[in-house]
């Protein structure tokens, strides 16, 4: 096993159906999944909070609220992660949900064996989403491997 390696799958048909089935969206216009091989064991919610924190930071507010228009909570709550509502979960997964006037999104954190995955699903509610997301998706795909590795570092760190 190669620890620390991040594998990616981009495109609706490249993300496994078993993962897509955990989305709450009525249709998926964009999908990706990034998987980190790790020896660190944590629950999906612990991973999600290690990735994004309890409330959105300034950079996340810029991307998620300003550019994508997502309506996120700005206060700590056991019902949210970084302002995203916890919309569902199971023993090995948690789904975060957010919406704007033109876009609906899910972030899915899933653990399996010695790996953790972050999948992003988007549903374009208006044509504007098809113009806004593609250039941002390139930046998103560059950032996610680092988000996973940084989360691993946070979980490993003694409290």
pLDDT, position 5 = 72
Each residue of 59-88: pLDDT tens digit?
999 999 999 999 999 899 999 999 999 999
Residue 63 φ then ψ, to 5°? -70, -55
Q: What are the pLDDT digits (tens) for 131-155?
A: 999 999 999 999 999 999 999 999 9
Residues 6+ apart with CB under 8 A from 29: 12, 122, 123, 124, 129, 130
């Amino acid at each position: 096993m190669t620890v620390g390696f991040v594998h990616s799958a981009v495109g609706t048909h490249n993300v496994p159906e078993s993962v897509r089935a955990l989305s709450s969206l009525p249709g998926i216009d964009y999908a990706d999944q990034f998987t980190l091989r790790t020896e660190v064991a944590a629950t999906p919610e612990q991973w999600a909070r290690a990735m994004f924190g309890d409330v959105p930071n300034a950079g996340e507010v810029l991307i998620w609220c300003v550019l994508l228009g997502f309506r996120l909570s700005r206060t700590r709550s056991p019902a949210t992660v970084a302002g995203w509502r916890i919309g569902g979960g199971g023993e090995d997964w948690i789904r975060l949900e957010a919406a704007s006037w033109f876009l609906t999104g899910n972030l899915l954190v899933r653990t399996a064996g010695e790996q953790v995955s972050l999948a992003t699903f988007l549903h374009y509610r208006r044509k504007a989403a098809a113009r806004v997301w593609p250039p941002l998706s390139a930046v998103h795909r560059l950032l996610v491997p680092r988000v996973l590795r940084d989360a691993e570092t946070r979980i490993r760190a003694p409290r």
